[in-house]
Amino acid sequence: MAVPILKQGPFLIASIQSALTDTDLVQLRDALVGQVGSYRSRGVIVDVTALDVLDSFASRTLRDLAHMVRLRGAETVIVGIQPEVAFTMVRLGLTLEGVATALDLEEGLFYLDQKLRSTQQEG
Amino acid sequence: MDEVSVRISSDLDLVRAREQGRVLAGQLGFTQSDLTLVATAISELARNIVRYARRGEIVLRQAEDGGVPGIVIIARDEGPGIPDVNRAMEPGYSTAGGLGLGLPGVRRIMDKFEIVSEVNRGTVVTVTKWKR
Ligand SMILES: Nc1ncnc2c1ncn2[C@@H]1O[C@H](COP(=O)(O)OP(=O)(O)OP(=O)(O)O)[C@@H](O)[C@H]1O
Ligand SMILES: [Mg+2]
């Protein structure tokens, strides 16, 4: 099942609607890495609220996604990790090291806005 | 005794097996976070089947110990087997460029963990989670 990707100003928002297969998740990663270029986006939000499982494969794929997006000059923030999912990830020893996370979509947008503002001030 | 078997041969079956596990553990009255632990363990074991053995099955079985209900997850395949099981259980060990956290992680989040593997014969992982 394809995940809808919404363009909102300089950002891309992918809201996962239901459980995803590994193939779906890899497709999402590739689509986002591609669209960051076509829309010249500055940030990507991946909303995982609907995911009831974030296992080793999903963690690695999200981490890869964030690193690839960064190599393309944009920032990624993962939002909506559910409390039980966070609990399980910690127990499993899974981390999202080097990846920004935020509570929900609103906080994610705030985070990216701040990032964008600070780079504009520097430049 | 309630038992479900889910055939595993594609990544779509992973999602299916996860859902079945959630349903069974839910019927047994598992907490929300234990349901997630169960679904995640199934996900790791089923993915190993698809990745290393191509096909196999996940059997979900209801268990009981002194009135406490539990769920037994059996991941079975007739794939290549694991030459060095102790090594495969070490966090970070992966022959597929993975994180190598699947098996050791599942052992950590379940109450009981057993693995029997024979080269060229296959692998059976049996794990149990009791209701808290
Ligand atoms: N069913 C299986 N059949 C054959 N080999 C297996 C099986 N399950 C695991 N293995 C072997 O054990 C190793 C460790 O498995 P484990 O699930 O811990 O890590 P991984 O699958 O490599 O990575 P991750 O699960 O973190 O994505 C695998 O790399 C593989 O060599
Ligand atoms: Mg694995």
pLDDT for B10: 97
Task: Give the minimum alpha-carbon distance from A114 to chain B in angstroms, rounded to a whole number.
Answer: 32
φ/ψ of residue A8, rounded to 5? -125, 100
pTM of the model: 0.96
Q: Which of A29, A101, A89, A17 is nearest to B40 (CA)?
A: A89
pLDDT digits (tens, 9 = 90+) for B60-115: 999 999 999 999 999 999 999 999 999 999 999 999 988 999 999 999 999 999 99
Instruction: Give the architecture (CATH level 2) of A5-118.
Output: 2-Layer Sandwich (3.30)
pLDDT digits (tens, 9 = 90+) for A105-122: 999 999 999 999 998 887
Q: Which of A44, A57, A65, A47 is nearest to A89 (CA)?
A: A57
Burial B46-67 (b: 16+ CB within 10 A, else e): bbbbbbbbeebbbbbbbbeeee
Distance A40 CA to ligand 1 centre (A): 38
Read off the pLDDT band of A71 (50, 70, 90).
Answer: very high
Distance B99 CA to ligand 2 centre (A): 8
Domains of chain B: 3-130 (3.30.565.10)
Nearest Cα residue to atom 27 of ligand 1: B98
Q: Which of B15, B32, B101 sits opposite A21 (nearest CB)?
A: B15
Q: Which of B33, B35, B105 sits opposite A92 (nearest CB)?
A: B105
How many residues does this entry show for chain B?
Answer: 132
Task: Give the minimum alpha-carbon distance from A81 to chain B in angstroms, rounded to a whole number.
Answer: 12
Q: Is B119 in the pocket of ligand 1 (CB under 6 A)?
A: no
pLDDT for B1: 55
Distance B61 CA to ligand 1 centre (A): 23
Rounded to a whole number, what is the distance in angstroms from the first to the last CA of chain B? Answer: 20
Question: How many other C-beta atoms can be found within 10 angstroms of the C-beta atom of residue A70?
Answer: 15
Closest atom of ligand 1 relative to the B122 alpha carbon: 3
Do residue A92 and residue B47 have CB atoms under 8 angstroms apart? no
